[in-house]
Amino acid sequence: MTWAVEAEGLRKTYPGRTGEVEAVRGVDLHVRAGEVFGFLGPNGAGKSTTVRMLTTLLTITAGRATIAGTDVAKDPDGVRRKIGVALQEAGLDPRQTGRELLTLQARLYGSTAAEAKDVAQAQLELVDLVESGDRRIKEYSGGMKRRLDLASALVHEPEVLFLDEPTTGLDPASRITIWEEVRRINARGTTVFLTTQYLEEADQLCDRLAIIDGGTIVLEGTPSDLKADLRERKQLSEEPTLDDVFLDATGRTRTRVAGEVAEVQA
C-alpha cells in the first residue's frame, strides 16, 4: 500500500548562534490515504518543522519522506503538485483581492485564465467569502484570512492537505466553521494532515493522531484507543480526556502544570 504520508527517521537540525538546534530527531510517520491525521505537541515540539519538511519548504537533514509515493527530496515539484499547504502564519498578499489571489494560485498550477476564474469562484463559495472576494486582503479579519488561506491551498484539488494550526487565534464559531470545511474536504477524498494545540479539535476531527514532544514521537493511535490505554494503565475509574492522554504522554502532569502556573503567579 502507498501511504499518503510516509516518513522514516526524519531529522532537522537548524544552525543556531549557540550551536545547532535539533528540532526534529527521527520522526516516523505513516498516514493512510483518506484519513484525517492529527499531529499534536506542546510549543516548540517540532510540529511546524516537520510540516515544512514534508511540504518541501525546508531541507531534510536526515531520513526520508514520501507523499503519495513521491519522494520529497528527490522530486519536490512532484510533491508540490500533490499537496496543499496552509501554514501556521497565513501566507497571503495584502495588496491582492481574495479573488485575484485564488486566480493567480490556480494559474500557477497550470489552469488557463478561464479555468482559474471558475476555480476562484468555486473556492470563494466553499469558504463563504464570495461577498468579500473583490476586497483587498488587508481589509480581511483574521478568520477570513484563515479561510482564504485554506481555500488557496485547495485550488488544485490536492491529494494531501497540510494544515499547521488551522484554528489558532480563531473564535469558537470560526473554529467550528473550519472544522466543517475540513470534514467536507476530507469527505471528497483528500487526506488531511493537521497540527493543533487544541485537543478537542483532534478529538473531533482526527481518525488517528501522533503526539510529538522534544522532536520525537511519544505516542500514536486513534483518539479512543489512546484514551482506553491510559484508562487501563492508570486504572482510572472514568474515561480520561485527550487532555489527560496528552499531559501523560508529554510528561506533564496536571499537578506539575498547576505548580508551574502557581510559581509564575507568585
Partner 1 sequence: MRQTLLLSSRALRESVRTPEALFPTLFIPLFFLVVNVGQAGKIFPGTSTAFLHGQGYAGFQLPSSLLLGASFGSAALFLVEDIEGGYFDRLRATPISRTALVLSRLLAESVKALLLTAVLVAISLLLGVRVASGIGGFLLILLLNAAWAVVYAGFMQLIALKTRSGAATQSGGLVFFPLLFLTPSFVPRTMLTRPMEIAASCNPVTYIMEALRTLVLGHVDWGSVGLGFAVVAGLGVVMLALNLRMIRNYD
Ligand X SMILES: Nc1ncnc2c1ncn2[C@@H]1O[C@H](COP(=O)(O)OP(=O)(O)OP(=O)(O)O)[C@@H](O)[C@H]1O
Residues that bind partner 1 (CB under 8 A): 55-59, 77-78, 80-81, 83, 85, 87, 89-96, 100, 104-105, 107-109, 136, 152
Distance, in Å, from the CA atom of 117 to the CA atom of 133, rounded to the nearest integer, reads 12
73 binds, among Mg ion, partner 1, ligand X, none (CB under 5 to 8 A by kind): none
Is 14 a binding residue for ligand X by CB under 6 A? The answer is: yes
Of 47 and 145, nearer to ligand X (C-beta) is 47
- The three grid cell numbers given for residue 84, joined into one nine-digit string: 496543499
* Contacting residue, 88, 168, 197, 241, with Mg ion by CB under 5 A: 88
**What binding mask, one character per residue, do residues 61-100 give for ligand X by CB under 6 A, x or -?**
---------------------------x------------
43 binds, among partner 1, ligand X, Mg ion, none (CB under 5 to 8 A by kind): ligand X
Of 87 and 137, nearer to ligand X (C-beta) is 87
Distance of CA 205 to the CA centre of its chain: 12
| The amino acid at 110 | G
Distance, in Å, from the CA atom of 122 to the CA atom of 118, rounded to the nearest integer, reads 6
CB of 158 to partner 1, least distance (A): 10
46 binds, among ligand X, Mg ion, partner 1, none (CB under 5 to 8 A by kind): ligand X
* Binding region for ligand X (CB under 6 A) out of 40-48, 147-155, 174-182, 223-231: 40-48
Is 21 a binding residue for ligand X by CB under 6 A? The answer is: yes
Is 46 a binding residue for ligand X by CB under 6 A? The answer is: yes
| The amino acid at 163 | L
91 binds, among partner 1, ligand X, Mg ion, none (CB under 5 to 8 A by kind): partner 1
Question: The cell 501522533 sits on which residue?
Answer: 210
CB of 88 to Mg ion, least distance (A): 5
Distance, in Å, from the CA atom of 167 to the CA atom of 185, rounded to the nearest integer, reads 16
- The three grid cell numbers given for residue 183, joined into one nine-digit string: 470534514
Site for Mg ion in 29-58 (CB under 5 A): 47-48
Distance, in Å, from the CA atom of 61 to the CA atom of 202, rounded to the nearest integer, reads 29
- The enclosing H or E element of 38 equals strand 36-40
Smallest Cα–Cα separation from 160: which of 80, 92, 222?
A: 80
Angle between helix 242-249 and 254-265 (nearest 10): 80
* Contacting residue, 5, 45, 87, 170, with ligand X by CB under 6 A: 45
CB of 232 to partner 1, least distance (A): 42
Distance, in Å, from the CA atom of 183 to the CA atom of 189, rounded to the nearest integer, reads 10
Distance, in Å, from the CA atom of 37 to the CA atom of 220, rounded to the nearest integer, reads 10
For residue 219, give the DSSP letter: E
CB of 67 to Mg ion, least distance (A): 19
Smallest Cα–Cα separation from 80: which of 28, 156, 11?
A: 156
Positions touching ligand X (CB under 6 A) are: 14, 16, 21, 23, 41, 43-49, 88
Positions touching Mg ion (CB under 5 A) are: 47-48, 88
